Amino acid sequence: MSIRSELNLRASRFGDARKSCTKCMGIKIIMGLLILGTLAGCSPIQPWVKPYEREHFADPIMSFNRDPVSGTYIDHVYESREGSRGATGGVGGGCGCN
């Protein structure tokens, strides 16, 4: 088998396997989240940082995404020049309000 056709075969097999695996991964994530949500409802774990002790997290300097427009822009600059992408989202924690 020539190098080209072998590479072709390897790449396509690789590509197809990876394609279906991502869909599996997505479904696994959904299931994991649902299970986590179910457990959270009947969890015996008590919050070790009380709501009245969370004043620092209400401070804007403790926010992961204080300036969303600026943060998005600089992420975009890096992503345009690099091979890496993803996992840059910042989701904050509860301040204990409501």
Partner 1 sequence: MQNRIAGIVAALVIALPAVAADPTGPAPEFVLPAKGGSQIDLAKYKGQVVMLNFWASWCGPCRQEMPLLEDIYKKYNKLGFTLIGVNVEPDSKAADDWLKQTPVSFPVLYDKDSKVSRMYDVSGMPSTVIIDRKGNLRFLHHGYKPGDESEYLNSIRSLIRE
Partner 2 sequence: MQLRWFNPWAKALAALCLVGTPAIADVLPDDRADVLYHNYDGGGITIQGPSVLVRKKVGDSLSFSASYYEDLISSASIDVKLSASPYHETRKQEGFSVDYLHGKTIYTAGYIHSREPDYSSNTAYYSISQSMFGDLTTVTFGFRRGWDDVFRDVKVNGVIQNDPTFQRQADHRGYTLSVSQILTRNAILDLNFEAITDQGYLQSPYRKIRYFDPTVPGKQFTLADQIYPGTRTSTAASADLKYYLPFRAAVTGLYRFYNDTWGITGHTVELDYTQPYRHFIFDGSIRYYRQNNANFYSDLFPRADYSNFEARDRELAAFHSISLGFGAAYEFHVPYARWINKSSLNFHFNHLMIDYSDFRNALLAGDGVYTAGTEPLYKLNANIYQVFVSIWF
**Cβ neighbours of 17 (radius 10 Å):** 9
**Smallest Cα–Cα separation from 94: which of 61, 62, 67, 46?**
62
35 binds partner 1 (CB under 8 A): yes
1 binds partner 1 (CB under 8 A): no
For the window 58-77, what string marks contact with partner 1 as x by the rule CB under 8 A? xx------------------
**Which parts of 47-86 interact with partner 2 (CB under 8 A)?**
47-49, 51, 53-54, 56-57, 59-65, 67-86
